[in-house]
Amino acid sequence: MKVIGDYNVSVKPGDPYVLGATAAGKGVNYAVSVPSVSEVTLHVYDLSGKTLLYSVRLGEEDRLGDIFSVWVGDASKDRSYVYETKGERFLDPYSRLVLGRNTFGHKLTKKERKSLRSLAACHDFSWKEERHPGVPYTDMVLYKLHVRGFTMAAGVAHKGTYLGVSEKAEYLRELGVNAVLLMPCTEFNEIDEPEENEDVPSFFSSKFYRSSTYKNNASSDMEEDPSQTERKYRVNYWGYTGHYFFFAPKASYASNPERADAEFKTMVKKLHERGIEVLMEMNIPSGTNRSMLVDALRFWVREYHVDGFRINLEQADPLLLAGDPYLSGTKLIGGGWDIPAIYPKDRVPSPVRLAEFHDGFRTDARKFLKGDEGMAGTFAGRIIRRPDRSTIINYITDHNGFTLTDLYMYDVKHNEANGERGMDGSDYNYGWNCGSEGPDRRKRIRDLRLKMRKNAMLAMFLSQGVPMILAGDEFGNTQDGNNNAYCQDNPVGWVSWKEARKNAELSAFVKRMAELRAKHPVLHNPMPLRGTDYLSCGCPDVSVHSKTAWRPDESPYNRSVGILLGGEFAVLNKTEHDDSFYLIFNMYWEEQVFEIPHLSGGRTWKVVLATDPAVKEGPVTDTRLAVAPRTIAVLQSEEFHGTEQRKRKKTKTPEAE
């Protein structure tokens, strides 16, 4: 190794086993993996990046495998750095913070790209008495949000930032949310430019360190073509790109980009203080080095106290992640897990930490709720299902697709603003405009749309999986029919908080659902439902009914279903079991009469929640209940406390009619 420059620093062999730049005693340890080269130069600047302090040239004697390392005796933390090899400068793929991308959506000039730097170490942060909330999946209500878009249109002091999310922590707690899922918020290049080639490294990309081969691009340091400045480009607002720095929080999501790491930690701390876990989506481009991915997840758990991750498993190693001892207490969410391969047959993980995430519930629930044929049995299965030794995330809307309001306002997508002639976005939305495409002032249309949104929300909250709310759905956020707003860094893609004042009824309904679910474990039973009476209490843990009690209707034209959840199979405390619940789903366009299952032990039913005011809340005094069109009703058992048992009026069964 050789120090170049007049700045007085000491150097010695570094530790190649800790990649990145980390504080080590009174200096910094630098380690970087660069395949197929014999020499790498480290350039160290001041924090502004304007003054080159010194350089360290690393050769074969400083290399272990493909890793070059050096320890530099420089106690100052106000240092930034870049690497260079074969005439090309590049950022450390293990950068803890990327400096120079301060403004979201700004296309860097050549000069600005050349001034990008990595921060030498994370800033100090005091966690004090902060603790992980430790929310089990069975109790979780998940809320998915885009860090920037969540508060850009909100009344907060720090719009579009980690601190902005912190300012909404109390709102989330009052809503009933106890976990948030953040869309990609590690550093990425949000500029989609036609001239970019993923196989050729740019000043910002670290792709060739995520691949097995290294390609030198000597021409990358040539002068830019002047015509490039006029070329159109778009912003990848969502952040699902091929350019990531997995160890660095996105700087432009911070009110002070040079302190993005501390602001992210502040957000985590504020959410944890209110019992809300923080989970991150880690989009993994093709070719990502799997060891690097494991290092990144470990780093976010250790450094940022993150509680879990959603990962596209096709680019990862599920067995490696699930078996990593460092991540044994971390929630991992993916498209699907091979549970028998991960856990021996006799092993039951405690707590459960693996969860499925896919469109199965979304598609089947959408079809059933709008009245498609042949979906009643499939929908009932989705409500009941929770995988053995893992769980499932159930959602009606995700970032990719209609918002909940648009799902029942538009029959077809309206993506013209994306500039792709309407060719982008899915054509299969399974929504329903309720009789009118787009906004409509007619009361009957507005009332029907509100009821359909309530139906969708309630279906999620009544499922045994983890319900996930897309940010803004709880109060009617709209994207004007755009079901692929990936490039809409504007009010179309941002959460519109003005809708919260207009749709207070929906928000209040969501809060009631969350409270009901939290209070009754039978609605999110820790034990997978079997469909049998394994306690010999006279009723199975779950049973599926039709308009006639105890008789499922498997006919293709059936559009209604009843689900009985036995309270004896869920424990409130060590001495009491939960109440039973009967869930009625009527997706016919006409009123339907449902026979109510009889309860033993003098118990009776009461309606505690319904998506149509025509179904009155309160005691059920009949053996049957009329349920309004396209309505969900929730019945709860209760003990009769009068001097004599309440008599229910006997009526004819449907067969007798």
In the chain, pLDDT over 90 holds for what percent of residues?
75
Nearest alpha carbon to residue 118 among 234, 229, 193, 31: 31
Render 222-275 in DSSP notation, one character per residue: SPPPGGGGGS--EE-SS---S-EEEEEE-GGGSSSGGGHHHHHHHHHHHHHHTT
Beta strands in 414-463 (DSSP E): none
Instruction: List pLDDT tens digits, range 152-194.
Output: 999 999 999 999 999 999 999 999 999 999 999 999 999 876 5
Mean pLDDT to the nearest integer, 457-479: 97
Which has the higher per-residue pLDDT, 199 or 497? 497
Q: Please give the domain boundaries of the chain with CATH numbers for all domains.
A: 2-90 (2.60.40.10), 359-472 (no CATH), 530-639 (2.60.40.1180)
* Chain-centre distance for alpha carbon 571: 30
Mean pLDDT to the nearest integer, 611-617: 97
Tokens of 380: 């009932």
Angle between helices 376-384 and 360-369 (to 10 degrees): 140
pLDDT band of residue 608 (cuts 50, 70, 90) is very high
Tokens of 320: 């490696």
Helix (H, G, I), strand (E, B) or coil at 469: strand
- 313 HSE (CA, 13 A, CB side): 17
What pTM, to 2 d.p., does this model score? 0.92
> CA–CA separation, 279 vs 262, rounded Å?
17
Looking at the predicted structure, is the pLDDT value of residue 259 above 60? yes
Nearest alpha carbon to residue 552 among 598, 528, 585, 600: 585
Helix (H, G, I), strand (E, B) or coil at 309: strand
Mean pLDDT to the nearest integer, 207-225: 36
> CA–CA separation, 474 vs 403, rounded Å?
10
pLDDT for the residue 26: 87
Which has the higher per-residue pLDDT, 165 or 571? 165
Instruction: List pLDDT tens digits, range 304-323.
Output: 999 999 999 988 999 999 99
Instruction: List pLDDT tens digits, range 498-524.
Output: 998 889 999 999 999 999 999 999 999
Looking at the predicted structure, is the pLDDT value of residue 74 above 50? yes
pLDDT band of residue 350 (cuts 50, 70, 90) is confident
Mean pLDDT to the nearest integer, 256-279: 97
Supply the mean pLDDT for the chain: 89
pLDDT for the residue 567: 94
Looking at the predicted structure, is the pLDDT value of residue 214 above 80? no
pLDDT for the residue 640: 66
pLDDT for the residue 194: 54
Render 25-58 in DSSP notation, one character per residue: TTEEEEEEE-TT-S-EEEEEEETTSSSEEEEEEE
- 139 HSE (CA, 13 A, CB side): 11
pLDDT band of residue 124 (cuts 50, 70, 90) is confident
pLDDT for the residue 211: 30
